[in-house]
Structure 1
Amino acid sequence: MSTDPTKYKLNHSMIRVKDPKRSVEFYEFLGLKQINKLENPDAKFDLYFLAYDSPSAVSHGNHWTDREGIVELTHNYGTESDPDYKVANGNSDPGRGFGHLAISVDNIQAACQRIEDAGYKFQKKLTDGKMRHIAFALDPDGYWVEIIGQKPLEETESVKETDTASYRLNHTMVRIKDPEISLNFYKDVMGMKLLRTSESSSFNLYFLGYGPDAPEKSANGVNPVAGREGLLELTWNFGTEKDPDFKYHDGNAEPQGFGHVCIAVDDLDAACARFEDKQVNWKKRLTDGRMKNIAFVLDPDGYWIEVVQNEKLKERSKW
């Protein structure tokens, strides 16, 4: 029994939603497609899995466990009719931790205009602030969706069209307390590669993922990993590592919002045995509870990492 971390995939990121109809509509407007739905009426929740799936998509037609760049929307029955229900979007206290999902687009100006024309709100428009090459749209629950371009701004300025079939669900961002500890964990334990680092005067961004190495610079001068899916962005604000009392919110304690990222592995039993050898902190071992086909590892900040079997590599769960 063996496992090869180079075959792992950062499969999905889970967020809780108030009204699945509105949320699915929003993400479908961004070009994603519902590729699976798991209903759990006994436990009173449903899971909606959305991903880019056009013929030109990275994982077109693949089984949902054999993909990167999925968003999982979790709906707990009744929240849609509860006027007081509200998720924590991760960007304000007391729920600060998760930051955003990010999509990369063919034409950032046209993509943002299309979203605005549809009546959706923005946390930051392209024209706001100094950073004119990124925007943040807001989904129906107030989660931030970063929009980045696959081409230089000057190339797309005069073009008024955008094709959602070319979009990618590029990354998920979470804030971390100590970069040395977190990078060590994601590289050594989870088997990810550090693909890119972006440094500023008060924070650093670290982009990790599976698959091939990334070039230092792309041919057209934009983010060299903008065309990828299933990346993890770790944001470190300088100084947090020195504060013994500092802690980010994992999204699963109150107030709830973001739930987890999920790694699909080549052999679930072998991968979990490897994690055990690495002395990880477990939220749920495979043998815990009724669900014997999923496990949850805790990262250094307490974020949950779900571990599932890639069903293309080895059939197990018949999801």
Structure 2
Amino acid sequence: MFPESPAETSPTAGYRLNHFMLRITNPTRTLHFYVTLMGMRVVFTRDVGPMTVYYLGYPQTKAHRSDPEAFAKDTSKHEVLTQTLGLLELVHFRTKEEDESGKEGSGQINVTSGSEGGNLGFNHLGFTVPDVGKTVERLRNEGVQIVKDIGEGPNDVVPITRWERMHGASDTELSEGFGKLFGQLGFIRDPDGYLVELVPQTLQ
């Protein structure tokens, strides 16, 4: 079913999955979620005309964790940026009203999360955390929408949406092994409705 691992001579040798990009509608709100609540750090911000681009990542060294400016300076170098994994690109496409008023949030360009209704495609971002239960509780206290807490089974959103079930998705039960794993996962929504999966770094 799957091809053998590529040889060092393969044209894909050296390829990396470097980043994901999400459209966002309110940078202040979204940066609060990913930076303040989820602990990511800003690598760089670029105003490129009709939109503003924010690159985020997690510092991997003690020095970078204690000095966000050094982390940003070192990581934003192209030769480092392109070798770094797990980056998140947030792009705010401004409205004409925002350009005219200079006020963030004027007007509205709607985005879909890709994980509900008839707009399925993208499903979630996955973050590994030391303790899913404590993370969910902390985020709940911060007003974050909790989709699934630990110990809970499937619901109308994950792993299969109610919409999919209504339109012919399989109703087969989760396998025992995956069901056990699924119970240890948490799911939340970011400010634009994108699903975020919380995965324990140590499985029970």
Q: Give the TM interval when normalised to the shorter protein.
A: 0.5 to 0.7
Residues 1:170 and 2:18 are matched in the alignment: yes
The match for 2:150 is 286
Q: Which runs of 5+ in 2 are unaligned?
A: 65-70, 99-104, 155-181
Matched pairs, number = 157
> Pairwise CA RMSD of aligned residues?
2.7
Q: Indicate the SS of the match to 1:214.
A: helix
On the 8 A contact 1:215/1:224 being kept in 2, the answer is no
Task: Report Cα offsets for 1:277-314 as digits up to 9, x if no partner.
Answer: 22211121224325421111100000000001012xxx
The match for 2:32 is 184
C-alpha distance in structure 2 between counterparts of 1:194 and 1:169, whole Å: 19
- CA displacement at 1:242 relative to structure 2: 1.5
Alignment of 1:138-287 (within 5 A): 164-211=12-59, 212=64, 213-215=71-73, 218=77, 222=78, 224-239=80-95, 241-243=105-107, 246-253=109-116, 254-287=118-151
Choose between structure 1 and 2: higher strand proportion: 1
TM-score computed with the length of structure 1 as normaliser: 0.44
On the 8 A contact 2:136/2:146 being kept in 1, the answer is no
- CA displacement at 1:162 relative to structure 2: 7.6
TM-score computed with the length of structure 2 as normaliser: 0.67
Task: Report Cα offsets for 1:85-108 as digits up to 9, x if no partner.
Answer: xxxxxxxxxxxxxxxxxxxxxxxx
C-alpha distance in structure 2 between counterparts of 1:182 and 1:279, whole Å: 13
The match for 1:300 is 191
- Relative to structure 1, the CA distance from residue 185 to residue 242 in structure 2 (aligned partners, 3 Å threshold; closer, same or farther) is same
- Relative to structure 1, the CA distance from residue 204 to residue 223 in structure 2 (aligned partners, 3 Å threshold; closer, same or farther) is farther
- CA displacement at 1:223 relative to structure 2: 6.3
Identity %: 30
- CA displacement at 1:260 relative to structure 2: 0.4
Q: Indicate the SS of the match to 2:17.
A: strand
Q: Indicate the SS of the match to 1:168.
A: coil
Choose between structure 1 and 2: higher helix proportion: 2
The match for 2:163 is none
Q: Indicate the SS of the match to 1:197.
A: strand
On the 8 A contact 2:133/2:149 being kept in 1, the answer is no
C-alpha distance in structure 1 between counterparts of 2:28 and 2:79, whole Å: 23
Q: Counterpart amino acid of 2:192?
A: D
C-alpha distance in structure 2 between counterparts of 1:310 and 1:163, whole Å: 33
Q: Which runs of 5+ in 1 are unaligned?
A: 1-20, 32-53, 56-160
- CA displacement at 1:163 relative to structure 2: 5.6
Q: Indicate the SS of the match to 2:196.
A: strand
C-alpha distance in structure 2 between counterparts of 1:171 and 1:243, whole Å: 28
